[in-house]
Every structure is written in C-alpha cells, then in structure tokens.
Structure 1
Amino acid sequence: MSALALGLLLASQAAAHDARGDRPHDHGPTPVPAGVRVPAWNELSPGQQAALARLRDDWDQLPASRRVRALEWVERKARWEAMTPEQREKLRAGARNFHDLPPELREKMRASLRALRTLPAEEQRALRKRWHDMSPEQRRAWLQTGGPAISPPPADAD
C-alpha cells in the first residue's frame, strides 16, 4: 500500500468520524448501528475476552457504545499485529503525509473520499488505481481541483 493510499485510508476514517459529527479522538458515545446487538461477556470469543480482560467484571454493565468502541479497538489491534513491519511503516508514512497536508487539502481529501464511497465498486477501483499510478505532484494537483470522484484528473496525469 503506498503512503498516499494510506493517507487516503486515514482520511476516509477521519471523514467517517466527521460524518458522525465527532473526531477520531473524541471519547463520546460511539453510535451502535441499528439492528446490531452488542454481545454479553460470555458471548465473546476467547481471543476477545483475553484482549478485553480488564473489562471482564464491568462488561455486561457498560453502555453498548463503550462495548462497541472496545470491540473496534480489538479488531484494529489484531489488524495492526497481523501487518508486516513494512506495512506498518507505510501506514505511519501515510499518516504523516496526511497530517502534513495543509488543512484545506485534508478537507478536500475527506470530501473526495466521501464522494468516492458513493460510486459503484468498479469505478472506485478504477479511480484508486489511477491515483496510485500518479506521481505525488499529480495527486496534489488533482486534490487541489477537488480530487477523485469530484473532478477529472489533471491533464498531465494521462
């Protein structure tokens, strides 16, 4: 995964938080999607129970939003631990790249990702491939005009 793709991934997560009206580090309630039932302690897998052992005594009394956030943390931790050191470094580099963008470009990237998620899967793949095939300068120019799913790529990106 390229560093800029990682930046896009992080921006999509930030956009998801923004769409819910919170921020990534906001510790307010995490909404529980309609129809989702949060498991009781005895319904958790042994791996989940091990990772959440410090919450064992309180689990069944915790608000559903807190349990959802804890289960999301367990999933993110497992994905992180499954990554190779190279993948982890690419993720870190992508986070640094996104953080180093000027605020207006970060917002354009978030808007582009929101728009991208509304497209059919095949179009999303095509735009992501095109993005990955571009140089960092071409990507920045595309973002300045709106970004993937919002504006056409710059003329020099063909």
Structure 2
Amino acid sequence: MPFPSFKLHLVPLLIGLAALAGPAAAQSEASTTPSDTSSLPTWERLTPEQRERLITPLRDRWNNEPDARARMLAHAQRWQDMTPEERSRARSGMKRWRHMDPEQREQMRALFARMRALPPEQRATLKAQWRAMTPEQRREWVDANPPPREGRQDR
C-alpha cells in the first residue's frame, strides 16, 4: 500500500464521506441500519463483504479524483488530531451543511471566509451583526463580500 498510514485514516474518511453523502443515501440506508448501533461490531469483526461495502465508495473516489487525494489525506489527519468534542462539533456542522439550500451555503462560505481573516473581537461583532440581518440584508452583504471560488466543495 503506497500510504502506510492510510488504514488509520480510513475510518474517519468513511465517516466524513457518509456524512457528506447526503440525505438520499441516509434515507436508503435507514431501513437497513440497526437502531441500536452499540450492537454493531468493531472493524476487525466486520465480514469481508461489510468492509468492502464501506471501502468501495472511498476507493472509487480516491481513484476517480487524483487531484483530491492530498486533501482527503489531510482531512483524515485533521480528523485523527481532533478531540471527541471537536469531532462532535464537526459532525453537527456537516449535518447542518447537508440541510442548507444553495443560497445558505453561499452565505456561509462568504461569512466564514470573512470571519477567518478577522481577529476574535471583530468576529464576534460580525457574528452579532449577521444574526441581526434580514434575509435581504444578508444577500446584499454576500454580494458585497463574495466567497472565494477556488477549492469549493459541495459534497
């Protein structure tokens, strides 16, 4: 295997891919997923077929998107470095993102890009202003502060 640490990053990548797969995938799997996840086996106890079912989407994405491989590995490393609380917040954020419409996503991209460049006290001010804005004011703000276009991921 070309990346010895790849196996360590496989589970977080699968979690991330599952989270980003979208509501349709979640609905189709809902009928086959047990409600008591504590009864599910550890990775080592999965059957080869179960492992293959989990790995196939990742393998296909890895093979079909060579330009995304470095980003995929970087995401896996960041996931490994997160605390359980940070992982929980990340999952919540992914869930919120999945349920946003395209306009809301565009607004969040713009807001995040702007906040990233601000010191903490100015971030708090902008966050308070954003919450007080009407939808029309938010659209105008995004028009005046468009998000960066490179590297966008809508998955």
* Normalised-by-shorter TM-score class: 0.3 to 0.5
Q: Compute the TM-score of the two structures, normalised by the length of structure 1.
A: 0.38
Q: Compute the TM-score of the two structures, normalised by the length of structure 2.
A: 0.38
* Larger fraction in helix: 2
